[in-house]
Amino acid sequence: MLKQRIIATLVIKNNIVVQSIGFKRYLPVGKPEIAVEALNDWGVDEIVIVDIDASKNNRVIDSNLVKRLSTFSQVPLCVGGGINKLEQIKELLRSGADKVCINQEFLFSHKFITEASRVFGVQCIVVSLDILKVDNEYFVYDYVKKEIVDKLDVLLKKAQELGAGEILLNSVNNDGMKCGYDMELIREACFLTSIPIIAQGGAKNANDMKEAIGIKDLSAVAAANFFHFTEHSVTTTKSYMKKEENLPIRLETHIKYEESSFDEDIRLKKKDDEILSSLIFEIHEKEVI
């Protein structure tokens, strides 16, 4: 059966990866090339790369950056940032992107989404919606103008109607807050639309992801900040999720952490000294393809 995906999002500002907090503060993390390579090694299912300054500055995400990053990635890349012309999509797809992510332009021009999905195929077009919760209701938020646009259900249904292939659902309230995913938002969105949904915003550790993936209707969970701060973060997250509840995710890396256990913060516990000393004599040959 189709597995649910664990996706890493790289938020790019000035060509470096940053940690985003509440869509307001940005702290530097490092070079995107290194992040992409590491995430690939750790068995991530897909990578989203977003240039958050592009729209503001009336430019599009740099296709040369995408070209460089695609040499490090053997998983699909979804790229976004200021995309508002068909030629830009064509250039980005030629530069190694598999899908494009459209946020601002969806708010301005519904026609663009329809044209883009007609020319490049529905499966290439991801519409990204930033969601703000106000008085227990969900609204789509414009992060450039810093204002509410319309209700979640109106724009979600619209996106599907216009030809979006997937929805990337960002919780503005939970972004960078390490409070877990907005489960109510995820359930509501899954109910309102029949296209695949990727949830993002608030992941603190593997437990939060496990909780969100527990919503069977959700196609994928994405996290930006979370994956940057632990070694093998994707692998340990997947291993935890498989161990705890045998969730339908893909775990095919050479290292699976099958015999490992986790502490309350879902960090790997040290193996017993006996096991560690027996490991000294194990040979693991690198696989040559």
Partner 1 sequence: MSKKIVIVDYDMGNTLSIVNALKKLGVDALVSNKKEDIENSLALILPGVGAFNEAMQNLKKYELIEILNETVRINNKPILGICLGMQIMADIGEEMGKTKGLGWISGNVKKIDIPNVRIPHVGWNSIEVLNDSILFKNIPSDTHFYFDHSYCYICDDKSKSSQTLYKDLITSSIQKDNIFATQFHPEKSQNMGLKLLRNFLNYVEEQSC
**Listed residue (233, 234, 228) closest to 29, CA to CA:** 228
Nearer to partner 1, 124 or 155 (CB): 124
Q: What is the set of active-site residues?
A: 130
- d(CA 30, CA 19) in angstroms, rounded, equals 10
Tokens 């992040």 -> residue: 35
Contact between 192 and partner 1 (CB under 8 A)?
no
Shortest Å distance, C-beta 2 to partner 1: 5
Report residue 130 as tokens. 């930033």
Nearer to partner 1, 42 or 139 (CB): 42
Bridge-based pairing state of the strands 77-80 and 46-51: parallel
Contact between 96 and partner 1 (CB under 8 A)?
yes
- d(CA 168, CA 68) in angstroms, rounded, equals 24
- d(CA 236, CA 39) in angstroms, rounded, equals 12
Report residue 213 as tokens. 């993936």
Shortest Å distance, C-beta 65 to partner 1: 13
Residues 131-170 binding partner 1 (CB under 8 A) are: 165-166
Shortest Å distance, C-beta 146 to partner 1: 32
| Binding window for partner 1 (CB under 8 A); candidates: 1-9, 28-36, 151-159, 231-239 | 1-9
Nearer to partner 1, 51 or 166 (CB): 166
Q: How many residues bind partner 1 (CB under 8 A)?
A: 40
| Binding residue (CB under 8 A) for partner 1 from 9, 20, 55, 70 | 70
Residues whose CB is less than 8 angstroms from the CB of residue 160 and which lie 6 or more positions away in sequence, other chains included:
167, 193, 194, 195
Contact between 3 and partner 1 (CB under 8 A)?
yes
Shortest Å distance, C-beta 76 to partner 1: 5
Report residue 246 as tokens. 């045998």
- d(CA 63, CA 54) in angstroms, rounded, equals 12
Residues 200-229 binding partner 1 (CB under 8 A) are: 219-220
Number of H helices, E strands in the chain: 10, 12
Tokens 């040979």 -> residue: 283
Contact between 119 and partner 1 (CB under 8 A)?
yes
| Binding residue (CB under 8 A) for partner 1 from 28, 121, 145, 151 | 121
Contact between 238 and partner 1 (CB under 8 A)?
no
The C-alpha angle with vertex 22 and arms to 24 and 173, in degrees rounded to 5, equals 145
Residues 7-26 binding partner 1 (CB under 8 A) are: none
Shortest Å distance, C-beta 16 to partner 1: 23
For residue 261, what are the CA distances in angstroms to 218, 270, 287? 27, 8, 26
**Site residues (CB under 8 A) for partner 1?**
1-5, 40, 43, 45-46, 67, 70-71, 74-76, 93-99, 118-124, 165-166, 194-196, 219-220, 250, 252, 287, 289
